[in-house]
């Protein structure tokens, strides 16, 4: 949910009630950070559930982590970090007015995001075959009490994260299109920054999700 | 009454009598370790500390006795505890305080505080399974007139052939003398004993271990015994397994009350 | 009625935000924060009427111990509807949505809120959320109570998922409003308006927005988890699979306790303004009141455990939550002390808003004291989930938020509509409302102490007398509210023109009332704090804002 | 308190740091990722694993937030928003986990391993048998 930026004709149009472009940029950035705070608290609720149930069923969580596809998780982490890099670079170039390079970098980030989703899809499919379905848990290897709960948390956290990745991809594509329409300049680069902030947050959540679900 | 007093009141005294309370969609059921169940009426001896272990069958209820100013939620699949000592006899209203569906407002019960001997006679009547004296509140057939759970357990253990391998009397067993030993470990004083497993780790022989060893015995075999016990999975129903565990618990050489509860160590000021 | 500063009669200004475009489209697609405030006002009053109607049905049903007018199923749906509609559709959006939207930008000297389109989106999300919620609750019926505790909510056959989806969308609307106000307060203040010169109303709304932004996402998560579990059968709170309903209660109350501060803080904000205006005095301890708003917002997040004392929570955590909940009492006491300090030796003009303030002060202190008592672990064991709790939170909700809402409505009626409300009728109505409120909820304190649990369709016979008294009080209260509605609507059309009848020096009265669409031709420069009654500042003397 | 609000400051710095900075951060993040992967392999006790993983993840997170999300040179308000949200996440964690740790052991789910209390677990360490002889509720 990205707060509406200024009306985006070709050149930068300062909304009537802001006195200077800096004021507008500051306001938009502050608005985005507040929105990021809500996202952080949304995922915090899920992490609290993770730790509470880990307190109840430590055995299930340890065995569960062992039976998750470690390589899929690690490659996904590397992919997301690289896409974070390319988005940061895109923001950097957009800020200096080089719209085309920013556009290409955003395209690369979007591709990385799609690869992340594909790997996630394969992992889910693999889980469905194994029978580790949250609604009908018949997974053979992990039969400790609370195992079904581990997989429920796994599907909730990664599912909500994947949903946010999709939203992020949508935002990045919209900004990429505007990049190729050459709309950003040193004075007006707010949308690129907001899209970047959102994508970095999605990466931030995965940075915490990866060790908790896959490694520990 | 501040928080410190609250904790002393809230911690059940060591010698309190346990009663299980089960909240079920729109009725209260009570089960006494001495065996009888009752629906809708909780019989309690006067001036005896009582600890209620409250659970629920379906949704969250709340066991609320306005007269005792006492309330505790009944949460499914686990037990919450509350303890009280009734100081005068009489019948007191029990209400359900946590919203639980259509007849939440009709989910009433009664605490019948009786004198000591009236309570004992009531218990004996229930145990003798006298149907007409049975407390029949609630749907008929809900409450099977079962005798003392321990004797029930003994009967089931004999039928299922447990006693062929496990001894129930203090047979003079020399440590490490294989010929003398029965095939399985003795049940006397088994409950709450720190037993050394063949895997080397020592565990506390509590209900979970006892029920688990009935269902798949080869998982935690006591040291010095062969894993030859057949699994009783599907052979023993829930209540039968529970009865056997209760029987094992009753096989105590010194017949002492189960070990006192190690709650936080506060010495109650003076009981109410 | 002290005469306004200039002598010649005022005339209704020709150009103002009400007649700046009169097509329906200009109203429905407006980005002017004042018009959005009026849209909120209409929808919030409709929600209040609906919620009040359900409340009356409940009170009628409770007249007799047995079934009276509705069956148990319908009664369970009624109290759920009353809870959901009143809390999500009236209490949370009311003062921030109506007065926050209207007054905040003007008080800061800004032309509009930071993100006008986002502001309109908040209103539309509110309408969509309300539609989904009411459709689910009325069509399929929802009987889980507004707290939708699992495992009942996940196993109940009623339309739980739809209603929770509606609550999710309403949560979004609340977040966006909060976000908008925080950014406006940070970036759109007029020159000269430092943090110690912004009016106390803005401080209160700012603190509320902080809670809205930080607490509502957790409700969003819980609503998603429960709707998921209700629809698809698997979830985190299913006891059979090891799930923990007490974890649900923790996450739910992590939002819902700060939410009650979302409801009460704006009312305290309105009171700060009305107290200064009607005693013609600067606020007794400006910084103390300002920072205690932020203090309540902060401490509100630590206290949610006092809803779980009997739910199986550990005694240790219960003790912690209980003692920390007392802190909120500290900040509320600071506010009340400063209000009374302002009233002391002030030149009081006794009129309807001031009557509501007196009712507010008495009932907030009374309700607050019972709140502090409820937060004590040992007392709460007997009182939680009984009518004592119902009486406590209605004292805070109905008395505080509603009376402050009415006080604000009357105080700012000339500013929003340029019309004067009839003073006589208003005094009568405020008396009826205060009396009706006391008659409705004081018996409920006694009921709760006697042990009548909440959400009871049939109750033991000995509680009947108090219930009848409470129902009688409820009808008096309902009559009071309808009286207010009637004379305000009449005043809207036939009221004579008024601009700042009480001569208040709040910043919102610097512009013309009703204000022009962009509030100010030139951005004003502020040289002093709000409500400076000691010396008469220059711009208040010459009739600059007469049309 | 500043008389003018921060939006009016004329001297808002426009950072012109080179693109290289991002690559350095990227490399650091990769090192930390493989670091946490490696640490997970070491034979340590379970709480230690958890602490190490969280510590490394926190380092990575601070790197991303400070440099990629430009919180380093952002105005005070943005930093305050981020820190306050982290503070309240901490509050939520602290109170809920304290509660689950100190709960009456039987109030935790039926077959969960209960945290051993300093005074030792009470008699029923893992939930008494079901005296009502009824199947466990729910599905």
A155-169, C246-260, C527-541: least confidently modelled range: C527-541
Q: Count how many residues are written for chain B.
A: 272
Confidence of residue A129 (pLDDT cuts 50, 70, 90): confident
The answer to whether the beta carbons of residues C146 and C246 sit under 8 Å apart is no
Residue B34 lies in a domain: yes
Range of the domain at A90: 21-215
Round the average pLDDT of chain C to a whole number and report it.
Answer: 90
Chain C interface includes D107 (CB < 8 A): yes
Does residue B266 form part of some domain? Answer: no
Across B205-209, C112-116, C125-129, least confident range = B205-209
Q: Which of B22, B80, B207 sits opposite D129 (nearest CB)?
A: B207
Confidence of residue C374 (pLDDT cuts 50, 70, 90): very high
Residue from D133, D134, D135, D138 whose CB has the most chain B CBs within 10 Å, to mutate: D133
What is the pLDDT at residue D16?
56
Give the Cβ contact number of residue B225 at 10 Å.
18
Closest Cα of chain C to A149: distance in Å? 7
Q: Is residue A150 part of a domain?
A: yes
CB–CB of C455 and B1 under 8 A?
no
Neighbours of chain D (3+ CB pairs under 8 A): A, B, C
* Residue B132 CB contacts under 8 Å (≥ 6 apart), including other chains: none
- Boundaries of every domain in chain C: 34-541
pLDDT in tens, C11-48: 788 888 888 878 888 888 888 999 999 999 999 999 99
Backbone angles phi, psi at D95, to 5 degrees: -70, -40
Give dist(CA A80, CA A162) in Å, integer: 12
Between B204 and C362, the more confident residue is: C362
Minimum Cα–Cα distance from C382: chain B residue: B69
CA distance B43 to chain D (A): 17
**A136: exposed, middle or buried (C-beta count within 10 Å: 0-12, 13-18, 19+)?**
exposed
Partners of chain C (3+ Cβ pairs below 8 A): A, B, D
Q: How confident is the model at residue C511 (pLDDT cuts 50, 70, 90)?
A: confident
Hey, of C154, C178, C186, which one would you mutate to test binding to chain D, going by the most D CBs within 10 A of its CB?
Answer: C186
A-C C-beta contacts closer than 8 Å = 108
- D11-50 pLDDT, tens digit per residue, is 444 555 677 888 999 999 999 999 999 998 888 888 888 9
Residues B33 and B94 grouped into a single domain = yes
Do B37 and B125 fall into the same domain? yes
Chain D 109-128, CB below 8 Å of chain C: which residues?
A: 109-112
* CATH, residue B36: 2.60.40.420
Cα separation of C156 and C175, whole Å? 29
Min distance D84 CA to chain C CA atoms (Å)? 9
* CB-based contact A101:A182 (threshold 8 Å): no
Q: CB–CB of A37 and D101 under 8 A? A: no
The verdict on residue A45 lying in a domain is yes
Question: C435 is written with which tokens?
Answer: 């009396």
- Cα–Cα nearest to C447, from C434, C464, C432, C435: C464
Give the DSSP per-residue string, C440-476. HHHHHHHHHHHTPBSS-SS--GGGHHHHHHHHHHHHH
Asked if residue B25 belongs to a domain, the reply is yes
Cross-chain residue pair D131–B78, CB shorter than 8 Å: no
Cα C267 to Cα C22, C46, D8: the distances in Å are: 32, 20, 31
CATH number at residue B182: 1.10.760.10
Tokens of residue D11, six digits: 């001297």
How many interface pairs between A and D have CB atoms less than 8 angstroms apart?
A: 153
Among residues A150, C332, C457, the alpha carbon closest in space to that of B101 is found at: C457
Among residues C212, C216, C215, the alpha carbon closest in space to that of C181 is found at C212
Same domain, B36 and B75: yes
Q: Which residues of C touch D2 (CB under 8 A)?
A: 194-195
Tokens of B267: 């010495």
Identify the residue with better confidence: B231 or D69. D69
Residues B142 and B232 in one domain: no
Range of B32's domain? Answer: 3-146
Q: For residue C506, give how far its alpha carbon lies from the nearest alpha carbon of chain D (Å).
A: 19
> Which pair of structure tokens corresponds to residue C165?
């989806």
| Residue B152 in this model has a pLDDT that exceeds 80 | no
Mean pLDDT of C501-506: 84
Tens of pLDDT along C188-242? Answer: 988 888 898 999 999 999 999 999 999 999 999 999 999 988 988 778 888 887 7
Task: Supply the pLDDT for residue A41.
Answer: 94
Residue written as token pair 């040992």: C378
User: Which has more confidence, D73 or C176?
Assistant: C176
Cβ atoms of B54 and B79 within 8 Å: the answer is yes
Higher-pLDDT residue of A37, B176: A37
pLDDT of residue B146: 42
Here the tokens at position C78 are 């009624």
- CA gyration radius, chain D: 24
Most trustworthy range by pLDDT among B117-126, B204-213, C193-202:
C193-202
Residue A48: is its pLDDT beyond 70? yes
C78: Cβ contacts below 8 Å, ≥ 6 apart: C54, C57, C58, C61, C70
- pLDDT, tens digit (0-9, with 9 covering 90-100), for B238-264: 667 777 777 776 666 543 333 333 333
Q: Residue A2: inside a domain, yes or no? A: no
Is the N-terminal amide bond of C251 cis, ω within 30° of 0? Answer: no
Q: For chain B, what is the domain count?
A: 2
Q: In this complex, do D96 and C247 lie within 8 Å of one another by their Cβ atoms?
A: yes
Nearest to C316 among D1, D96, D102 (CB): D102
Residues of D in contact with C320 (CB under 8 A): 95, 98
> Could you tell me the CATH number of the domain that includes residue A85?
1.20.120.80
pLDDT tier at A134 (50, 70, 90 boundaries)? low
pLDDT bucket at C95, cuts 50 / 70 / 90: very high
Flag if B238 and D135 touch (Cβ within 8 Å).
Answer: yes
Task: Judge: B60–C155 Cβ closer than 8 Å, yes or no.
Answer: no
Q: Residue C546: name the closest of C16, C20, C4, C10 by CA.
A: C10
pLDDT of B76: 87
B-chain residues within 8 Å CB-CB of D106?
A: 53, 78-81
| Contact (CB<8Å) C457/B104 | yes
pLDDT digits 0-9 by tens, C247-297: 999 999 999 999 999 999 999 999 999 999 999 888 988 999 999 999 999
Residues of C with CB under 8 A from a CB of B: 72-73, 76, 143-145, 149, 151-152, 155-156, 239-240, 242, 245-246, 310-312, 315, 319, 322-323, 376-379, 381-382, 384-386, 450-451, 453-460
Average pLDDT over residues C83-88: 94
The partner residue sitting opposite B259, judged by closest CB among D106, D123, D131, is D123
Q: C217, A49: Cβ pair inside 8 Å?
A: no
A8 found inside a domain: no
The pLDDT, as a whole number, for residue B219 is 74
C2 band by pLDDT with thresholds 50, 70 and 90: very low
CATH number of C34-541: 1.20.210.10
Q: Which residue of C has its CA nearest to A32?
A: C179
> Looking at residue B175, what is its pLDDT?
39
Q: Among positive and negative, which fits the CA dihedral B10, B66, B136, B237? A: negative
- Per-residue pLDDT tens over the stretch C117-149: 999 999 999 999 999 999 998 888 888 989 999
Provide the CA B6 distance to its chain's centre, in angstroms: 26
Query: Looking at the partner chain, which of A48, A204, A211 has a beta carbon nearest the beta carbon of D64?
Result: A204
Select the residue of B56, B239, B262 nearest D120 (Cβ to Cβ). B262
Bridging pattern class, strands B17-24 and B27-31 = antiparallel
Interface check for B20 against chain D (CB to CB < 8 A): the answer is: yes
For D76, other C-beta atoms within 10 Å of its C-beta total 10
Percent of chain B with pLDDT over 70: 73
Percentage of chain C surpassing pLDDT 90?
Answer: 64
User: Any chain D CB within 8 A of the CB of C320?
Assistant: yes
pLDDT tier, A10 (very low <50, low <70, confident <90, very high otherwise): very low
Q: What angle do CA C256, C261, C264 make, to 5 degrees?
A: 130
Residue B234 has pLDDT above 70, yes or no: no
* Interface C-D: count of C-beta contacts within 8 A: 91
Q: Do residues C407 and C278 touch, judged by C-beta distance below 8 A?
A: no
CA distance C251 to chain B (A): 17
Give the pLDDT mean for A75-84.
Answer: 94
pLDDT at B168: 67
Among B3, B70, B102, select the one facing C73 at the smallest CB separation: B102
The ipTM of this complex is 0.84
Predicted confidence (pLDDT) per residue in C437-464, tens digit: 999 999 999 999 998 999 999 998 889 9
Kindly report, residue by residue over C310-343, the tens digit of the pLDDT: 988 888 899 899 999 999 999 999 999 999 999 9
Chain A hits for D89, Cβ within 8 Å: 40-41, 44, 47
Minimal Cα–Cα distance from D138 to chain B, Å? 7
pLDDT of residue C538: 61
Read off the pLDDT band of A69 (50, 70, 90): confident
Q: What is the DSSP letter of B255?
A: -
The DSSP secondary-structure symbol of A7 reads -
- pLDDT value of position B253: 56
Q: Which residue has the higher pLDDT, A9 or D105?
A: D105
Residues in chain D: 139
Query: What pLDDT is attached to residue C387?
Result: 93
DSSP 3-state assignment of C315? helix
Neighbours of chain B (3+ CB pairs under 8 A): C, D
Q: Is residue B256 part of a domain?
A: no
B114 Cα to chain D: minimum distance (Å): 23
Selecting from D109, D125, D135 the residue whose C-beta is nearest the C-beta of B78 gives D109
Which residue in B34, B36, B206, B210 has the most chain D C-beta atoms within 10 A of its own C-beta, making it the best mutation to test that interface?
B206
Residue C69 in tokens: 């007018």
pLDDT at position B132: 43
Q: How many domains does chain A have?
A: 1
Q: Do both B176 and B230 map to the same domain?
A: yes
Q: Are chains B and A in contact at 3+ CB pairs closer than 8 Å?
A: no
To the nearest whole Å, the CA of C167 is away from the closest chain A CA by 15
- Per-residue pLDDT tens over the stretch D105-137: 777 776 666 544 444 333 333 334 455 654 433
Do C186 and A30 make contact, defined as CB atoms within 8 angstroms?
yes
Question: Closest residue of C to B97, CA-based?
Answer: C453
Nearest to B264 among D119, D127, D138 (CB): D119
């Amino acid at each position: 949910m990205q707060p509406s930026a200024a009306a985006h004709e070709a050149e930068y149009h300062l909304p009537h009630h802001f006195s200077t472009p800096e004021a507008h940029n500051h306001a938009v950035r502050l608005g985005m950070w507040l929105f990021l705070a809500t996202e952080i608290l949304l995922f915090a609720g899920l992490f609290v559930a993770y730790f509470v149930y880990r307190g109840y069923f430590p055995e299930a969580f340890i065995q569960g982590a062992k039976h998750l596809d470690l390589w899929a998780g690690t490659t996904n982490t590397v992919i997301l970090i690289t896409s974070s890099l390319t988005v940061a670079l895109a923001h950097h170039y957009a800020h200096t007015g080089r719209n085309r390079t920013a556009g290409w970098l955003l395209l690369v980030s979007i591709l990385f995001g799609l690869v992340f989703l594909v790997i996630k899809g394969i992992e889910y499919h693999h889980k469905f075959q194994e029978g580790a379905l949250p609604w009908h848990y018949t997974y053979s290897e992990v039969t400790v009490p609370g195992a079904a709960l581990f997989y429920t948390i796994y599907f909730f956290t990664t599912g909500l994260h994947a949903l946010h990745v999709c939203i992020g991809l949508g935002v990045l594509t919209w900004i990429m299109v505007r990049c190729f329409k050459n709309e950003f300049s040193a004075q007006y680069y707010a949308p690129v920054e907001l899209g970047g902030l959102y994508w970095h947050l999605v990466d931030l959540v995965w940075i915490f999700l990866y060790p908790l679900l896959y490694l520990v | 009454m501040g928080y410190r007093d609250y904790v002393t009141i809230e911690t059940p005294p060591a010698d309190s009598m346990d009663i299980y309370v089960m909240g079920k969609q729109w009725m209260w059921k009570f089960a006494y370790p001495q065996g009888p169940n009752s629906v809708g009426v909780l019989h309690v001896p006067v001036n005896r500390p009582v600890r209620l272990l409250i659970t629920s069958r379906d949704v969250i209820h709340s066991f609320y006795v306005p007269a005792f100013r006492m309330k505790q939620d009944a949460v499914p699949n686990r037990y919450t505890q509350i303890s009280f000592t009734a100081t005068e006899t009489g019948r007191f209203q029990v209400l359900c305080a946590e919203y639980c569906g259509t007849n939440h407002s009709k989910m009433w019960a009664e605490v019948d505080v009786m004198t000591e001997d009236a309570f004992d006679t009531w218990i004996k009547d229930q145990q003798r399974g006298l149907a007409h004296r049975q407390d029949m509140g609630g749907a008929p057939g809900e409450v099977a007139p079962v005798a003392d759970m321990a004797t029930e357990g003994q009967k089931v253990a004999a039928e299922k052939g447990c006693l062929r391998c496990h001894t129930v009397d203090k047979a003079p067993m020399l440590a490490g003398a294989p010929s003398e030993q029965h095939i399985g470990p003795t049940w006397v004083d088994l409950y709450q004993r720190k037993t050394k497993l063949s895997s080397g780790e020592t565990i506390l022989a509590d209900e979970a271990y006892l029920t688990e060893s009935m269902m798949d015995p080869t998982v935690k075999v006591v040291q010095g015994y062969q894993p030859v016990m057949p699994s009783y999975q599907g052979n023993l129903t829930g209540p039968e397994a529970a009865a056997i565990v209760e029987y094992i618990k009753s096989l105590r050489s010194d017949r002492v009350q189960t070990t006192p509860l190690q709650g936080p160590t506060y010495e109650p000021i003076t009981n109410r | 009625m002290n005469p306004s500063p200039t002598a010649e009669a005022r005339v209704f200004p020709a150009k103002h935000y009400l007649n700046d475009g009169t097509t329906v489209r200009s109203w429905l697609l407006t980005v002017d924060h004042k018009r959005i405030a009026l849209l909120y006002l209409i929808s919030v009053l409709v929600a209040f009427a609906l919620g009040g109607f359900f409340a009356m049905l409940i009170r009628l049903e409770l007249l007799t111990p047995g079934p009276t007018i509705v069956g148990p199923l319908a009664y369970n749906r009624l109290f759920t509807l009353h809870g959901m509609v009143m809390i999500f559709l009236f209490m949370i959006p009311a003062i921030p949505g109506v007065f926050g939207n209207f007054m905040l930008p003007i008080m800061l000297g800004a032309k509009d809120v930071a993100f006008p389109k986002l502001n309109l989106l908040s209103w539309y999300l509110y309408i969509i959320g309300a539609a989904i919620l009411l459709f689910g609750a009325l069509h399929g019926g929802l009987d889980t109570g507004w707290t939708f505790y699992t495992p009942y909510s996940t196993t109940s056959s009623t339309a739980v998922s739809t209603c929770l989806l509606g609550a999710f969308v309403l949560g979004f609307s609340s977040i966006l409003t909060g976000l908008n106000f925080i950014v406006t307060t940070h970036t759109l203040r007029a020159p000269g308006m430092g943090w110690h010169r912004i009016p106390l109303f803005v401080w209160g709304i700012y603190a509320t927005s902080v809670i809205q932004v930080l607490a509502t996402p957790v409700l969003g998560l819980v609503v998603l988890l429960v709707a998921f579990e209700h629809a698809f059968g698997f979830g985190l709170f299913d006891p059979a699979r090891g799930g923990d309903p007490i974890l649900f209660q923790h996450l739910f109350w992590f939002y819902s306790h700060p939410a009650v501060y979302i409801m009460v803080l704006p009312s305290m904000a309105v009171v700060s303004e009305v107290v200064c205006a009607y005693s013609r005095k600067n606020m007794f301890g400006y910084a103390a009141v300002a920072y205690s708003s932020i203090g309540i917002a902060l401490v509100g997040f630590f206290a949610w455990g006092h809803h779980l004392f009997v739910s199986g929570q550990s005694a240790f955590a219960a003790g912690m939550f209980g003692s920390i909940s007392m802190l909120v009492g500290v900040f509320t006491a600071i506010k009340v002390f400063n209000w009374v300090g302002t009233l002391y030796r002030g030149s009081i003009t006794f009129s309807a808003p001031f009557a509501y303030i007196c009712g507010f002060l008495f009932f907030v202190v009374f309700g607050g004291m019972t709140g502090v008592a409820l937060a004590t672990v040992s007392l709460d064991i007997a009182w939680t989930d009984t009518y004592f709790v119902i009486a406590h939170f209605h004292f805070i909700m109905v008395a505080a938020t509603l009376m402050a809402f009415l006080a604000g409505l009357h105080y700012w009626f000339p500013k929003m509509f340029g019309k004067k409300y009839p003073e006589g009728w208003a005094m009568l109505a405020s008396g009826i409302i205060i009396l009706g409120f006391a008659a409705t909820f004081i018996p409920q304190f006694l009921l709760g102490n006697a042990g009548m649990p909440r959400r009871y369709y049939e109750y033991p016979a000995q509680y009947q007398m108090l219930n009848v008294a409470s129902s009688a009080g409820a009808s008096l209260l309902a009559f009071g509210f309808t009286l207010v509605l009637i004379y305000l609507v009449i005043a809207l059309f036939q009221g004579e023109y008024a601009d700042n009848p009480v001569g208040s020096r709040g910043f919102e009265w610097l512009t013309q009332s009703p204000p022009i669409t962009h509030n100010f031709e030139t951005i004003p420069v502020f040289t002093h704090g709000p409500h400076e009654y000691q010396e008469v500042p220059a711009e208040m003397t010459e009739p600059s804002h007469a049309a | 308190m500043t008389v003018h609000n921060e939006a009016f400051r004329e001297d808002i710095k426009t950072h012109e740091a080179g693109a290289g900075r991002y690559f350095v951060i990227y490399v650091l993040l990769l090192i930390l990722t493989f670091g946490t992967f490696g640490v997970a392999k070491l034979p340590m006790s379970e709480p230690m694993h958890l602490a190490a993983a969280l510590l490394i993840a926190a380092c990575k997170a601070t790197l991303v937030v400070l440099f990629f999300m430009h919180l380093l040179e952002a105005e005070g308000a943005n930093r305050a928003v981020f820190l306050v949200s982290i503070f309240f996440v901490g509050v939520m964690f602290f109170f809920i986990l304290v509660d689950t740790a100190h709960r009456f052991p039987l109030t935790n789910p039926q077959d969960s391993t209960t945290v051993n209390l300093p005074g030792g677990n009470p008699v029923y360490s893992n939930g008494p048998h079901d005296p009502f002889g009824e199947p466990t509720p729910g599905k």
